[in-house]
Structure 1
């Protein structure tokens, strides 16, 4: 808990600094004094410096949220003075459309947080992820993969180790299609009831089988049915893995109609959402329309790794 408060305190201090007008003015004066004499007297360059702070966005540190647990950081934006000046130099007129930005990194990153489950991405990142847990449903996988390919969408498939052992070709097909694979335990147990050695065995054995079958390494662990305890998260952390939950549940195993499934998802989806699904008839029949509706909301669809990285999406 002490570490968490230190992270929160550092984040608050950083926020105060980057949002303090006195600090911003001081930084601008440093930039000004470091300029060559020609640019110190150039009205266009001075105009870019003057307006820069209006468009800059401070980075957001990774943090432990009271409700959503671990939240990744998100890059900020800073005006690239030289590139922006070069863009506007010909007409010698300030034009905000010609500003060039560089991304600035947070001070606290997801990897630096104490072990904690992840339920969503950063709330300012206009991206969502499909989390597809696979322990059965082979008959629907090909159709789902075809739909994802048709719409140029990549998803994160969390594979049960025993399923991969019995279906190595299907596991290879998922990876060959460009999708990310994660660990969904070996035999789908209730992880909350397992001792630490038993949990470690479930995760390690699955990692080994997935890598042997597909060549892909797993960095994300999704406990079956979302069941875990603190020790489960720590075991995954010791294996250099992060535990992934979900933001929105399709509840597709209850065989909802496509309309019901789509309404359930679209009524809850937002920046950073992770949508839980399985290879079922309900999801296979809903997937195409779901992708279209999500993209109509100007939300990108990417893997869990893409959602968790700090790269800012520039609209």
Structure 2
């Protein structure tokens, strides 16, 4: 009885002491508790600088695209180079340090030029652009077909496409107004010889005359100096290529032919062209009725394949094509060493 009473008094005393101590402790404000919670969350999500750098280096292995040098292929002859797209480790690290964690969308990429560009190659013909570049070029040879040129130019303008028109010198002399119309629409001008000859059958003197006379009439009429030459009917030899190179022109041909000069069914022509399209394709056409009727469909279906369309210069240069880029000439862009945030940013 006595022991039981003593135990009850002892327990009661302990309860009083504990209650008094709790009353003496200061009340913790809600905002202090919230601050402690936020700091705990940050500590859980923040990564060390070493962790961030390791993840960036791992991303390099997966996402880096080294530059591709221009080469002379046994089959395709000259193939232009293509800028690489490499992760800039330092810029990416600084970007992520501010956020306190690694995130792929914070990666910074740098365009890097190849060591060998197409201008560095010895004289060689080009049939296509670099296959890594999601772009095609339009080769439009003009020596006749005046009645179809306005429709073709209107469609190109509506679709915001720039092409390269290779002009026959005698045609420019006889049709200066149409030649100016082509230039005023923003298209690139190329050399298509003067009298539509078989270039492979000419003497060196005749080859030079055909090219020089065409350049002179183009310069006098349009104030342009062509950078590209395409031989009539695709007939040429190495001497033609070398003389063109001496005149500061590169020789280009094509990988896809509309064969529009045979007046094919328009739908059949469009299907044949589109089914043979590939990255880097050069597409040959002329001012004909099938091309005037079908060029819009060709453009739309090429774009549906995720490919851009442009001039020969823009297709052949080393500049990368970004997914969001429009089909305009890139000749004024820098030569490389450009910085890009990840495409998701």
Q: Same fold by TM (over 0.5)?
A: yes
CA distance in 2 between counterparts of 1:53 and 1:214 reads: 49
Q: Is the 8 A contact 1:131 1:275 kept in 2?
A: yes
- Map 1:109-188 → 2, pairs under 5 A: 109-188=117-196
The gaps in structure 2 that reach 5 residues or longer are: 1-47, 324-345
The one of 222, 233, 258 aligned to 1:214: 222
How far 1:43 sits from its partner (Å)?
Answer: 3.4
Kindly tell me the number of residue pairs found equivalent between the two proteins.
Answer: 277
Q: Gaps (5+ residues) in structure 1?
A: 1-39
Contact 1:175 1:216 in 2 (8 A): no
Per-residue deviation, residues 99-121 of structure 1 (Å, max 9, x unmatched): 22111111111112121111000
* Structure 1 length-normalised TM: 0.85
* More off after superposition, 41-50 vs 243-252: 41-50
Higher radius of gyration, 1 or 2:
2
**Structure 2 partner of 1:84:** 92
Look up the match of 1:192.
200
Mapped to 1, the partners of 2:275 and 2:294 lie a distance apart of 15
1:285 — aligned with what?
293
In structure 2, the partner of 1:256 is 264
SS in 2 for 1:213: helix
Q: So what's the TM-score if we normalise by structure 2?
A: 0.77
1:48 aligns to what SS in structure 2? helix
Q: Aligned-pair RMSD on alpha carbons?
A: 1.6
- Aligned residue in 2 for 1:274: 282
Tell me the CA shift for residue 47 of structure 1: 2.8
Structure 1 residue runs of 4+, over 6 Å off?
none
Kindly provide the CA deviation profile for residues 17-59 of structure 1, in whole angstroms up to 9, marking residues without a partner as x.
xxxxxxxxxxxxxxxxxxxxxxx94532443234323211111
Q: Secondary structure at the match of 1:119?
A: coil
Aligned to 2:51: 43
Shift of 1:169: 1.2
Which position in structure 2 is the counterpart of 1:108? 116
Following TM superposition, by how much is the alpha carbon of 1:246 offset from its aligned partner in structure 2, in angstroms?
0.5
Instruction: Measure the CA separation in 2 of the matches of 1:130 and 1:50.
Output: 40
Query: Residues 206-262 of structure 1: CA distance to partner in whole angstroms, max 9, x if unpaired?
Result: 011111111111010011000011111111011111111101000000001111111
* Aligned match for 1:236, one of 238, 241, 244: 244
- In 2: Cα distance, 1:86 partner to 1:280 partner: 57
How far apart, CA to CA, are the structure 2 residues paired with 1:82 and 1:149?
A: 43
Q: Deviations over 1:162-220 (max 9, x none)?
A: 00001111111111111001000001010011011110010011011111111111010
Please state whether the residue corresponding to 1:182 is helix, strand or coil.
strand
CA distance in 1, matches of 2:264, 2:195: 26
Whether contact under 8 Å (2:49, 2:97) holds in the other structure is no
